Chain A
Amino acid sequence: MSTRKVVTALFLAAGLVTAGRTVVAHHAFGAEFDPNAPIRLQGKVVRLEWVNPHTWIHIETVKDGKPEIWMVEGGTPNTLLRRGITRDTVAVGTEVIVDGYQTKDHSLKRANGRDVTFADGRKLFMGSSGTGAPKDGSDPTEGGTKPAPKKPGGGK
């Protein structure tokens, strides 16, 4: 068996390919959000709930000239805290774009943050990297100090 085939097979087995993954999450997203209620939101961040099991980003949008407050579900804050990112990293008033699906309870203005970006399309945060992953000594290139907090969008 070629190395390429071995790598592909292992990649699939570890659930590292699809966004959906095969692992169990805190809750089934399909039970909470409505596939028949897709939404695109654009507005300013008014509050971040940096809580478990899911972070919630509150944004103010405008519909028919009237303001609406939407809550957008993210992941655990623990992984971002470990990279030096806190709820203060994204300033209130920052404009973001969100696409996702509304909760099955349509009386709630809540949605999953399927993709949360700045207005120019950059991701709100960045995935872990050689400098952001837990420092566990397995990377010979990692230094002896804690990585500096990253700026939104990876400090670009």
Chain B
Amino acid sequence: MRIPIALGLAIVGSVGLIAQQAPASAPRSAGATAGQGRSSTAKPAGVARAADGKPDLQGVWTNATITPLERPQNVKDLVLTEEAAARMEKAVTDRRDRLNEPSDPNRTAPPQGGDGSTGAAGNVGGYNNFWLDPGERVAIVDGQRRSSLIIDPPDGRIPALTQEARTRQQARAKMAMGRGQYDHPEYRPLAERCLLSFGPTTPLVPNYFYNNNLQIVQTPDHVMILMEMVHDARVVRIGGKHLPKHIRPWMGDSIGHWEGDTLVVDTTNFPPQQNFRGASENLHVVERFRRADDKTINYRFTVDDPTTFTAPFTGEIPFRAMEELIYEYACHEGNYALGNVLSGARNEEKRLGTKQ
């Protein structure tokens, strides 16, 4: 952070006071209806309005943040002190600077048998950090620096999965193993096939990786939300009813209405192939878009699926205005990966003699 020394000292000196002022837990109960009073009556001055008088949500926004979706179990408070937030942001930029340091030009190939990396990089490493753009800032909502995006339940964590969901996940895993996950392109994940983002599109939760940017286009009848990641465009119909249950678009069926100055979007009819945190096709998401000021949309989402989660949960994310364009993500254009994965599996079968 580039903070003048005098200002930096003033911030450090005031940390104690700020921490005392900040509430120790979620400022209000959450849920699909929480916040209505505030949002339906407030008309913030200076918020741009569309021709029909509704707040103008249009523009390019980013939901990138270093605040995690779920709060670590050993962190109690939703609200961070200014000092803790500044230290976390500095830790992120320090790490980035370390990763920008030159490598040894005389380095050898990485270790035989894998480099021990985990997660998406699965024992072979991924690629350089300079490709990534996960955000560098703690999420600030209503002036509060947040330790988690989830605000309800009060522990900031996704409620436990139901027994039904655990059984379903086991069955899915068993089926995938049984038929051979590399045996057909359609057995591969939706993202690998360039069909859907590998960050959630509903709700609009950041992926902590890159391309956490979105564009909103608004008319009196429709609102379109374009995610940069995999170029997913979700069209919300204003008014009306949900589609019949048997029609299940990739991103579900979104209908919206205005409650005062808040756009409320209700999404159901998810396809069974989507997999937001293990949810089923019974997933129900309610989103609330409220312009906090000319540079911010306060976005709130509530997720409910009684067949998957033991309770609903709600989160809040600031969408910050960007002076940037959304870049096209023509995923099919250069998707060598899918072919490489499948031909790699054929090569291994031939080498190991496991299939004809």
Q: What is the interface size of chain B, counting residues whose CB is below 8 A from a CB of the partner?
A: 102
**B95 proximal to A (CB < 8 A):** yes
Contact A20 B117, CB 8 Å, known A13-B71, A117-B103, A127-B130: yes
**A135 proximal to B (CB < 8 A):** yes
Complex CA distance for A54 and B198, rounded to whole angstroms = 14
Complex CA distance for A41 and B330, rounded to whole angstroms = 29
Among candidates A18, A27, A56, A120, residue contacting B105 with C-beta atoms closer than 8 Å: A120
Can you list 9 pairs linking A and B with CB atoms under 8 Å apart? Answer: A11-B91, A13-B71, A15-B119, A21-B209, A29-B120, A29-B121, A97-B107, A104-B344, A114-B125
- Complex contact A25–B209 (CB within 8 A): yes
**Chain B residues within 8 Å of A104, by CB:** 340-341, 343-345, 347-348
Interface residues on A, range: 35 or more
Interface string of A71-106 (1 = CB under 8 A from B): 101111111111000000000000001011101111
**B333 proximal to A (CB < 8 A):** yes
Complex CA distance for A35 and B110, rounded to whole angstroms = 9
The 10 closest A-B pairs by CB, nearest first: A75-B131, A30-B122, A104-B344, A51-B334, A35-B114, A20-B121, A25-B120, A13-B68, A114-B125, A9-B72
- Which residues from chain A sit less than 8 Å from chain B, CB to CB? 1, 3-7, 9-36, 38-40, 49, 51-56, 71, 73-82, 97, 99-101, 103-108, 110, 112-117, 119-130, 133-138, 141, 146, 154
**Chain A residues within 8 Å of B108, by CB:** 40, 99
**Chain B residues within 8 Å of A82, by CB:** 133, 324, 327
**Chain A residues within 8 Å of B333, by CB:** 51-52
Complex CA distance for A128 and B92, rounded to whole angstroms = 11
Complex CA distance for A3 and B132, rounded to whole angstroms = 27
**Chain B residues within 8 Å of A51, by CB:** 330, 333-334
Complex CA distance for A59 and B130, rounded to whole angstroms = 19
Complex CA distance for A112 and B92, rounded to whole angstroms = 25
CB within 8 Å of A: which of B298-335?
A: 320-324, 327-331, 333-335
**Chain B residues within 8 Å of A4, by CB:** 87
- Report A77 CB to chain B, min CB distance, Å: 8
**Chain A residues within 8 Å of B329, by CB:** 52-53, 76, 78
- Complex contact B334–A75 (CB within 8 A): no
Contact A113 B74, CB 8 Å, known A21-B120, A108-B343: no
Name which residue of chain B comes closest to A82, CB basis.
B324
- Complex contact B118–A123 (CB within 8 A): no
**B99 proximal to A (CB < 8 A):** yes
- Report A93 CB to chain B, min CB distance, Å: 18
- Complex contact A105–B125 (CB within 8 A): no
Segment touching A, from B32-40, B78-86, B235-243, B280-288: B78-86
- Complex contact A26–B109 (CB within 8 A): no
- Complex contact A26–B131 (CB within 8 A): no
Complex CA distance for A22 and B105, rounded to whole angstroms = 29
- Complex contact B327–A105 (CB within 8 A): no
Complex CA distance for A136 and B27, rounded to whole angstroms = 26
Name which residue of chain A comes closest to B210, CB basis.
A79
